[in-house]
Structure 1
Amino acid sequence: MNEIHTIHSVAEAHRFFGLPKPMHPLVSVIKFENVNFTVSNMWKRFTNNLYTIAIKKGSNGKMKYGQSMYDFDEGIMTLTGPRQVFSIRDIQDIVVSGYLLTFHPDFIQAYPLAKIINKYGFFSYATNEALFLSDKEEQIILDLMKAIEQEYNANIDKFSQDVMVANIDLLLIHVDRYYNRQFITRKNLHNDILSRIDSLLDDYLTNESKEHNGLPTVQFLADNLAVSPTHLSDLLKNATGLTSLQYIHMKLIDKAKELLATTNLSVSEIAFQLGFEYAQSFNKLFKNKTKVTPLEFRQSFN
């Protein structure tokens, strides 16, 4: 029941979607209204070796995608990279329109895009971290999808791949811009998450059992907040200018300073209390972040 189905190629994706053979072995532009979501039970849980870029809009209610319910009255984009595991559920009564662009990494291998595509964090976001589009943004994305579709359906010549890759490149630049806008416009939500991060770290660092759990990790925060590690890092970068690991280190140093200034615990005891396996590792991090050793910091209070 928990078997993960793997889609290895564009042709295999077409078979799963109940579609005829693709016109190109490495890329396809699919209209959602042509997809047969009931053709296979693989929708319960699956992964693929492809990049997918989807813009979806529904006409009759909500759809459960990943772990969240989405209102499909608005345009929603989801993007996934190779080897991600995800699922789509509760789809039998939903009419979805829009486009699914899917391509194999080999399709862009000879282009500059291949070298920069991994910098786009949204390809590794969890499926409940979709991009919500304004009407204007939605139209821009749809126009680019239609341009790619038009080139895909045209007679293939030596320029076809160049044109499609150029449009994919431009589409991703727009998506990057819109995700950045979403981070800004959802600032209140992100502030709430920031408060939850602080609470999680404060609880972790004051919990006596953390000596047995080790240092707090990015994955620990992501799991407790139900977001992906990449999305968490992007969120913190926008809110604080720090990556997730840098933020954890900042909280560790703050707690260490508190213990150094207000207790008689030795430096080694503080290191182990914070979750460090070795006191040397604590000393190294503390000096790297503060330019003084823990002992020098403590002595500055005397």
Structure 2
Amino acid sequence: MSKILHLHSITEINSFMDHKVRHPLVEVIDFSQREERFEGGTSITCDFYIVMFKNYCGNKLRYGRKPHDFQDGSLLCVAPKQLLTLDNEREDRQDMMGWGLFFHPDLIRGTSLGAKMKDYSFFSYETNEALHLSDKEKHILYEIVQKIDAELTENIDKHSQTLITSNIELLLNYCTRYYDRQFITRKTTNQDILTRIELALTNYFQSADIREKGLPNVKYLAEQVHLSPNYLSDLLKRETGMNAKDRIHYYLIEEAKNLLLSTNKTIGELAFDLGFEYPQYFSRLFKSKTGMTPIEYRSLN
């Protein structure tokens, strides 16, 4: 059984990386200057955010369902309380490089960045959904990280938090831009995912036991295409203008319209056929999406 190590503070990650503590709530570590001291097979959870770039494997990392080896220079963003596992396999390289930005939620609490963190959904992506950076993108992010690093060498004063958090926010905003670019460059793959999502929804609503299963949810759809729920929602939003939940509702309403016009079943019967436990929930959702109740829609068509 793997050992589980919980890191509560930035001071603890500094200790494990044999790095001098410069700020209690944020740190930048140059991996080319530090030896990884975690044993293979160790699982780690942290109370802070991690933004990590490497061009080498080191201990192979598992985050979520799949391993991540940092080939081709990729960026991984990890939210607090997520489980990271270091495999036993290691790769030693002379040209290893990379950096890690570690910041505690207390650093950004009460700031504009703190209020926006939920919008950076890539912190909940799987490792196989990591951001692959071009050379230009690597350089831009590294320049921002260097600014944070330079600020950490100064004495802490009343301006420190503002300058550090503003640069972290800038870094994350660039990550958002680059993820948008990655969604575009993977358009062929995305179209295949959209096709599989449509097929999954079709099969789900046509299954005989939908009454027992209830309505499909985002987690179910994500599992059908082997993606994280957040990544799937963001992909669908960019490709169709609707996130995963909206897509489910869109498909549901279209199915409901077909059933309303092709059968004589009561609204209650249709609601149960579509996986609703209570007919009033179906009627409420239908009206919110169409502006009409199911009965009104049937009578007008």
- Return the TM-score normalized by structure 2: 0.88
Could you tell me which residue of structure 2 aligns to residue 263 of structure 1? 263
Q: Does 1:101 align with 2:101?
A: yes
Give the partner amino acid of 2:28: V
- Please report how far the alpha carbon of residue 243 of structure 1 lies from its aligned counterpart in structure 2 after TM superposition: 2.0
Q: Does 1:28 align with 2:27?
A: yes
8 Å Cα contact 1:272/1:279 also seen in 2: yes
- Return the TM-score normalized by structure 1: 0.88
Could you tell me which residue of structure 2 aligns to residue 278 of structure 1? 278
How many matched pairs? 298
- Please report how far the alpha carbon of residue 166 of structure 1 lies from its aligned counterpart in structure 2 after TM superposition: 2.6
Q: What is the correspondence of 1:35-114 to structure 2 with a 5 Å cutoff?
A: 35-40=34-39, 44-58=42-56, 65-66=62-63, 67-68=65-66, 72-89=70-87, 91-95=89-93, 96-109=96-109, 111-114=111-114
Could you tell me which residue of structure 1 aligns to residue 173 of structure 2? 173
- Please report how far the alpha carbon of residue 63 of structure 1 lies from its aligned counterpart in structure 2 after TM superposition: 5.0
Q: What is the correspondence of 1:1-302 to structure 2 with a 5 Å cutoff?
A: 1=1, 4-15=4-15, 17-40=16-39, 44-58=42-56, 65-66=62-63, 67-68=65-66, 72-89=70-87, 91-95=89-93, 96-109=96-109, 111-301=111-301
Segments of 5+ residues of structure 2 without an aligned counterpart are none
- Please report how far the alpha carbon of residue 59 of structure 1 lies from its aligned counterpart in structure 2 after TM superposition: 7.9
1:167-211: CA deviation from partner (whole Å, max 9, x where unpaired)? 212212211111111122212211111111111111111111121
- Please report how far the alpha carbon of residue 27 of structure 1 lies from its aligned counterpart in structure 2 after TM superposition: 1.2
8 Å Cα contact 2:57/2:90 also seen in 1: no
Distance 1:251 1:94 in 2: 50
Segments of 5+ residues of structure 1 without an aligned counterpart are none
Find the residue that maps to 1:55 and give its secondary structure: strand
Find the residue that maps to 1:128 and give its secondary structure: helix
Distance 2:12 2:135 in 1: 33
8 Å Cα contact 1:28/1:152 also seen in 2: yes
Distance 2:271 2:3 in 1: 43
Find the residue that maps to 2:6 and give its secondary structure: strand
Residues 1:54 and 1:91: Cα distance change in structure 2 (over 3 Å)? farther
Distance 1:100 1:84 in 2: 16
Give the partner amino acid of 2:220: F
Give the partner amino acid of 2:27: S
Distance 2:124 2:92 in 1: 26
Identity of aligned residues (%): 41
- Name the Cα RMSD after superposition: 2.5
Distance 1:115 1:78 in 2: 21
